[in-house]
Amino acid sequence: MRILVVEDDPDLRRVLTDALKDNGYVVDSAGDGVEGHYLGENEPYDAVILDLGLPEMDGIKVLEKWRKAGRTMPVLILTARDRWSDKVKGLDAGADDYVVKPFFTEEVLARIRTLLRRSAGISTSDIECGPLRIDTRAARVTVEGNPVKLTSLEYRLLAYLAHHKGRVVSRTELVEHLYDQDFDRDSNTIEVFVGRLRKKLGISLIQTLRGLGYKLDESAAEPEANAAH
């Protein structure tokens, strides 16, 4: 999952960025409204953390421009303003949730998880697909109750497919949402990691649709040894 943090306070921006990265997210950041607006307008994000009190262009204006341009990613606004009218302005501008400063980082992480689940139509923190279960709070994966040890990138790939289970996800979309901006997007590492995931899960839940991409589909579940790929 790829997150954008738009916050002018460098210390707070670093704290949020580090916390998100530690929890398995790919993170881009901006220190003013103009840069933040540009990134949100031109890059694919699964969610955005947006401060309202930004230099160059305030957060409300940034959000209004995104929504006017048809950008639909979930947005969590941060504000030091505790007046109810400011919160209402943010929500009316298109925000999905808000946190008032000062806040606990764990609360922001929990709200981001909730926004990601909500945008995917998932109501709980556990995502299930046949015998596969993903605990998004703990980044823990089990198959038929047995834990599966994954690398950070393997988990991010599986979690992204799980948040979009039943839908074909192109290789380009996976690269855009799983890697930093400077990643070599012509590489074939997605195929490598899909192969590793299949072996570690031991069941064939990840379908390859040649020329289209990948799909997590519980109807295809069978022991990997018997599955054709």
pLDDT tens digits, 5-41? 999 999 999 999 999 999 989 999 999 999 999 999 9
Phi and psi at 101, nearest 5°, equal: -75, 145
Q: What per-residue confidence (pLDDT) applies to 183?
A: 59
**Do 42 and 93 sit in the same domain of this protein?**
yes
**Do 6 and 108 sit in the same domain of this protein?**
yes
pTM, to two decimals? 0.81
**Do 108 and 136 sit in the same domain of this protein?**
no
For residue 8, the domain's CATH number is 3.40.50.2300
In angstroms, rounded to a whole number, what is the distance separating the alpha carbons of residues 135 and 57? 38
Q: Which of 89, 119, 149 is the last residue of a domain?
A: 119
Q: Which of 119, 141, 156 is the last residue of a domain?
A: 119
For residue 131, the domain's CATH number is 1.10.10.10
Domain range for residue 194?
126-226
In angstroms, rounded to a whole number, what is the distance separating the alpha carbons of residues 40 and 19? 20
| Amino acid identity at 72 | T
Q: Which of 119, 136, 161 is the last residue of a domain?
A: 119
Contact 66, 37 (CB under 8 A): yes
179: DSSP letter: S
Q: Residue 83's pLDDT band (boundaries 50, 70, 90)?
A: confident
Contact 74, 94 (CB under 8 A): no
Q: Which two tokens stand for residue 205?
A: 């839940």
Q: Residue 185's pLDDT band (boundaries 50, 70, 90)?
A: low
**Do 90 and 52 sit in the same domain of this protein?**
yes
**Do 163 and 114 sit in the same domain of this protein?**
no
Q: Name the one residue in this structure whose structure tokens are 């993903």.
A: 134
Contact 30, 5 (CB under 8 A): yes
Q: What per-residue confidence (pLDDT) applies to 226?
A: 44
**Do 145 and 207 sit in the same domain of this protein?**
yes
Domain count, the chain: 2
Confidence check: pLDDT of 222 > 90 = no
| Amino acid identity at 33 | G
**Mean per-residue pLDDT, 76-94:** 86
**Do 154 and 81 sit in the same domain of this protein?**
no
**Do 61 and 81 sit in the same domain of this protein?**
yes
| Least confident window among 37-51, 60-74, 126-140 | 126-140
CA distances from 218 to 7, 38, 161 (A): 40, 38, 12
**Do 106 and 144 sit in the same domain of this protein?**
no
